[in-house]
Structure 1
Amino acid sequence: MLTRDMAAMAEVHPLTGLLSHLGLMVWSAGAAVCFLGAVYLYRANEPGVGFFFWGSALTTWLLFDDAFMIHETLANWYLGLGEKAVIFALGLAVSLWLYVYRKLLIALGPFFLIAALAMFALSVGVDAFPEEMFPLSYLGDWRLLLEDGAKWIGIVLWLTFQIQALLSFLERAPASRNVSA
C-alpha cells in the first residue's frame, strides 16, 4: 500500500487530484529553493542562512502536511490532536517566522508573501465555514474550487516570494567570491 500510486489503488482517473499533486511539486520546489539558499549562504559566509533554513523547514512541514493530510487526519489518529490545534500550531510557527524576520521581509519586498498569506487565509476561511452559510451556500461545487484554487495560488506565490528573496540575496553577494566545494 505504501508504494502503490493512489490513483491505481483507488481505481480512479490518473488526473484525479491534479491540482493537489501540482501543489506538492510547488511546495517541494519552495523547500528546495530555501534549503539550497541556506547552504549557499552558509558556505559563502553571507547573512540570511537562518531565514532560508527556517523557511525551508516551514515549507517542508507545509509540504508534508498537504501530502499526508496531517492536520486533517494523521495528527488526530496518532497524536490525539484536533485539526484546529494543528492549524493553530502551524499559524504560530508562521507568525514566529514572520516576526523574527520581519525587517528582512520588509527589505525584500513582501508583496508576493502578503499575497500568498492572503490566499492561504481565503482557503482556510472558506474551509472553516459550513457549506450552508451565506454566501458559500450559493457556490455549490465552486466552493471547492475557491478553497483549493486559493490554496494553490498561495503555494505558487509562496514559491515566487522564496525565489525573489533568494535572487535578492544572490545579487547582493560579491560576484568575485567563489564558494568552494
Structure 2
Amino acid sequence: MKKHQLFRYLYAIVPALFVLILAIAASRLEGIRLIFFTRDVTTLGNLPFYAGAISTLGIFLWGVTAAICLFTSSLLLKLADRQLLNFFLVVAIISAYLMFDDLFLIHEHSGTWIRGGEKSIVLLLGGVVSLHLFLFRKIVQNTHYGMLLIAFSMLGASVIADELQPYFWEKGDLHTLAEDGTKWVGIVCWTGYYVQTAFDFIIQKTNEKR
C-alpha cells in the first residue's frame, strides 16, 4: 500500500478511534455505562422515533453548512483566494459550534463554567457573527443576502421568545412556535444562503481560472 493511500485510511480511522477511546475513558472515570455514549437518545429514553425530529434536522443542517463551507474553503485555497477562503472558513467554524451547541445543549449548561451562563454565550456568539459580517461585508454585499437577513431575523426572534417566555406566556404550542419554529426557519435560511453562496463562488472562481 502506498504511503498516501495509508494516510487516506488514517484520516477516517484515527478520529473514529479517538472518539471511542474518549467515550470509554469517560465511562470508566465517571462510572457511566458506555451505552449512554453510543446509543440513540430516543432508544435510551424509550421515546417515539419522531421525538425531537425538527431539532435533529436543525442539527443536521448546521453540520451540512459547516461541511460545505469547509469544503469550499479548501477549494478556494487551491484557487488562491485568501479572503473568500477565510469567509467560508469562519462560517464553517461558527456553524460547527452551533451544531455541537444544539447537540449537547452547551449554552444551557454553561452557567457552571462561565459567568452569565446562557446569556453570555448568546451575546458572545452574536458578537462573533456581527464581527464576521463587518469584516467580510464587501463579500456579503455581492451575494443574494436576503435569505441571510431572514435567517438572522428568525434566529433573533427565537432568542427573544426564549427570554420573554416567563413574562408573557406559559410554555405551550404558542411558545413552541415562537421559539422553536422561528429557530427552525432561521437554520434553514442560514443553510440555504451559505450553500447557495458557496456554489455561486465556486462556479465564479472556476470560470475565472479557465
TM-score computed with the length of structure 1 as normaliser: 0.88
CA–CA distance in structure 2, aligned partners of residues 50 and 104 of structure 1: 11
SS of the counterpart of 1:13?
coil
* 1:79-134, Cα deviation, whole Å (9 max, x unpaired): 4651111111111111111111111111112111101000001111111103441x
Distance (whole Å) between structure 2 residues aligned to residue 37 and residue 117 of structure 1: 22
Q: Measure the CA separation in 2 of the matches of 1:176 and 1:83.
A: 45
Matching residue of 1:168: 200
- 2:191 aligns with 159
Q: Identity of counterpart residues, as a percentage? A: 30
SS at match of 1:108: coil
Deviation track 1:3-53 (CA, whole Å, cap 9, x = no partner) reads 121111111112100000111111111101110110001112135100000
RCO greater where, 1 or 2, for CA within 8 Å and sep 6 or more? Answer: 1
Moved more, 116-125 or 164-173: 164-173
Number of equivalenced pairs: 174
The change in CA–CA distance for 1:4 and 1:79 in structure 2 (over 3 A counts) is farther
| Structure 1: gaps of 5 or more residues | none
The structure with the greater share of residues assigned to helix is 2
Structure 1 residue ranges (4+ consecutive) displaced by more than 4 angstroms after TM superposition:
78-81
Corresponding residue to 2:136 among 74, 80, 101? 101
TM-score under structure 2 length normalisation: 0.77
Instruction: List gaps (5 residues or longer) in structure 2.
Output: 1-35
**Highest Rg: 1 or 2?**
2
Counterpart amino acid of residue 2 in structure 1: F
**2:162 aligned with 1:130, yes or no?**
no
Q: Residue 53 of structure 2 corresponds to which residue in structure 1? A: 18
Aligned CA-pair RMSD: 1.9
